[in-house]
Amino acid sequence: MADLAYVALIIGTFSLCALVLRGLQTKRAQ
Amino acid sequence: MNPALAAGLQIALVIAVLAILYVPVGDYMAKVYTTDTDLRSGDLRIETVLYRLCRINARTDQTWYGYAGSLLGFSAASVLFLYFLQRVQGVLPLSGDLSGVSPAMAFNTAASFVANTNWQSYAPETTMTNLTQPIGLAVQNFVSAAVGMAVAAALIRGFVRVSRGGEIGNFWVDLTRGCIRILLPMSFIIALILLSQGVIQSFDSGFTSTGLDGNSVTNALAPVASQEAIKELGTNGGGILAANSAHPFENPTPLSNIVEIIAILLIPVSLTRTFGTMVGDRKQGLTLLAVMGLLWGGLLAVTLAAESGQRGVAATAAGAMMEGKEVRFGIPGTALFAVSTTGTSTGAVNAAHDSMSPLGGGAVMLNMLLGEIAPGGVGTGLYGILVLALIAVFVGGLLVGRTPEYLGKKLGQREITLAALSVLVMPALVLIGTGITVILSSTTGYQGNSGDPGTPGSIHGFSEVLYAFASASNNNGSAFGGLTVTSDWFQSSLGVCMLLGRFLPIIFVLALAGSLASQKKTEPGAGTLPTAGPMFAGLLTGTVVLVAALTFFPALALGPIAEALQ
């Protein structure tokens, strides 16, 4: 269970970074 | 020897060696990172094989978006691999009698090593197996450093190139070249020098000896020299032995101490030459170096003065200021190491920073809170100070009515927004992380110096927490060791700070590089603010100090400053 939580934390943190990346790209395209 | 003379000689030796190596190392790195596609015919055979194995098209450049995506994907995969490697190490070969690392510690360590922080909440000798150390942690020592240098190279290309699509290089090529052409050969040379000083290199598990008190002691052995070299050169800092560079097997002599300090500073310092060479104006690089040197020298002076301070005849006679320091390094060797390790993103320590005087401890903490640009981590220092240079140009331009442009690239709304976001990530993480921690009653007990509010203990306990979040968010890795950080809260929150403190600024910097690369170059005119020379160095230094002072003065006042005034 703890493993799941920490893997989710890793994926969640990088997903946040990916969202920021995507947001910057979209804003630039506009 | 007179301590002042010892300090002067050690500082002079470090500066002299760096001055000798500055040009050859800086120009060599410029050659490595000048990766226009038509110049890639000079790829080494091992690089070609690696590209083919990994199906990388090394002849194509990436846009900033592709570059950042590759970097994030590589880093996410690295964290997951390192996490699972630690979890299952007990059933893998070379495990000895060690079992898997706990989930919280595995997360913290994986985040720490991939983010080039190397914060260690564990004792390496009794936690990591002889398989996890080389194929997990040591590999990250190389690649995480190469990632930082790659981002710096990409930002430089942003200033140099004029490309409609905003291409800033190929991440995989930069990563491979950084490891193979820069970090590996230089680490090899440094490891040999450290071996000559008595740093050990052994795969034996350890030996038993009898102490002066007659008790039996087990001494761990490890392949230290090879890991010590990249630990310092890559501004990593994670020791293979728990006592880090205070351990006589990692740092046995005053000369090895100097070699390690030079290794810490070499790449960050030389990258300013790389920058100057690549942009075709070496004075630009020298100006950045002057700012880095000024901040490093200033904080070194404060730390040396604070650590050498007389605290009364009895205390001086008893060697009170040597508490927490190694006798073989003394106060000068300790202060020099402490300022160099916190001014870069290294975090290796040769003394207990928690035992430093309030002002000395505050100075090394401030060194991190400046954003680690004096001279900063490998790559991170250069792109960190370049972002601040853009802000200085913008502010200076507003003050005197000059056009905001840097190296022929105009600084518009997008560029300044990205630079500001990049600078704001770290303070937000440090202050929010510290704030939440100190109001959580469950965390008070983890402070080695906790106490009732307003008592000396509670002030130092606050400093310990502030130092921890400053270290994690700046990817430094050193610690005020009085704080116990093995609880789930610290493992998780510090781990997240390390990842966000590393990768959010990188995304903003790469977006900035792409934006700059897609611009045409404008020739400097009468309205252009000169960015090389003493005036701009002063403006940039002022900007750095003001940004840090305005952001962190309240927090520092509650910790080290309050402690020093007691």
- Is residue B370 in some structural domain? no
Q: In the A/B pair of chains, how many CB contacts fall below 8 A?
A: 63
pLDDT at residue B41, rounded to an integer: 63
Judging by DSSP bridges, how do beta strands B62-63 and B206-210 pair with one another? unpaired
Which residues make Cβ contacts (< 8 Å) with residue B251, sequence separation at least 6?
Answer: B199, B228, B245, B257, B260, B350
Q: What are B21's two structure tokens?
A: 């190596």
| Nearest chain B CA: its distance from A23 CA (Å) | 11
Q: How confident is residue A30, by pLDDT bands cut at 50, 70 and 90?
A: confident
**Residue B213 and residue B298 in one domain:** yes
Domain that holds residue B134: 3-353
**Residue B316 and residue B441 in one domain:** no
pLDDT at residue B163, rounded to an integer: 86
**Residue B289 and residue B397 in one domain:** no
- Is residue B208 in some structural domain? yes
Which of A6-22 are b and which e, b meaning 16 or more Cβ less than 10 Å from the residue's Cβ? Answer: bbebbeebbeebbebbe
| Nearest chain A CA: its distance from B103 CA (Å) | 6
Q: How many whole angstroms separate alpha carbon B371 and alpha carbon B353?
A: 19
DSSP letters spanning B240-285: SSTTGGGSTTTS-SHHHHHHHHHHHHHHHHHHHHHHHHHHT-HHHH
Contact between B79 and A18 using a beta-carbon 8 Å cutoff: no
pLDDT at residue B322, rounded to an integer: 86
pLDDT at residue B300, rounded to an integer: 96
pLDDT at residue B310, rounded to an integer: 60
**Residue B34 and residue B164 in one domain:** yes
Closest CA to B341 of B224, B238, B423: B238
| Nearest chain B CA: its distance from A26 CA (Å) | 10
Contact between A9 and B76 using a beta-carbon 8 Å cutoff: no
Contact between A10 and B492 using a beta-carbon 8 Å cutoff: no
Contact between A14 and B504 using a beta-carbon 8 Å cutoff: no
pLDDT at residue B315, rounded to an integer: 62
pLDDT at residue B192, rounded to an integer: 97
The structural domain count of chain B equals 2
pLDDT at residue B472, rounded to an integer: 97
- Is residue B360 in some structural domain? no
pLDDT at residue B526, rounded to an integer: 83
**Residue B236 and residue B278 in one domain:** yes
Contact between A21 and B106 using a beta-carbon 8 Å cutoff: no
pLDDT at residue B441, rounded to an integer: 76
pLDDT at residue B79, rounded to an integer: 98
pLDDT at residue B521, rounded to an integer: 92
pLDDT at residue B402, rounded to an integer: 82
Residues in chain B closer than 8 A to A9 (CB atoms): 107, 492, 495-496
pLDDT at residue B38, rounded to an integer: 53
Contact between A6 and B103 using a beta-carbon 8 Å cutoff: yes
**Residue B552 and residue B497 in one domain:** yes
Q: How confident is residue A4, by pLDDT bands cut at 50, 70 and 90?
A: very high
- Spell out, as residue ranges, where chain B has pLDDT lower than 50: none
Which tens digits make up the pLDDT trace of B432-470? Answer: 999 999 888 787 777 777 667 667 678 888 999 999 999
Question: Considering chain A, what percentage of its residues have pLDDT values greater than 90?
Answer: 83
Among B334, B353, B372, identify where a domain stops.
Answer: B353
Contact between B103 and A5 using a beta-carbon 8 Å cutoff: yes
**Residue B401 and residue B456 in one domain:** yes
Q: How many whole angstroms separate alpha carbon B246 and alpha carbon B243?
A: 6
Residues in chain A closer than 8 A to B80 (CB atoms): 7, 10
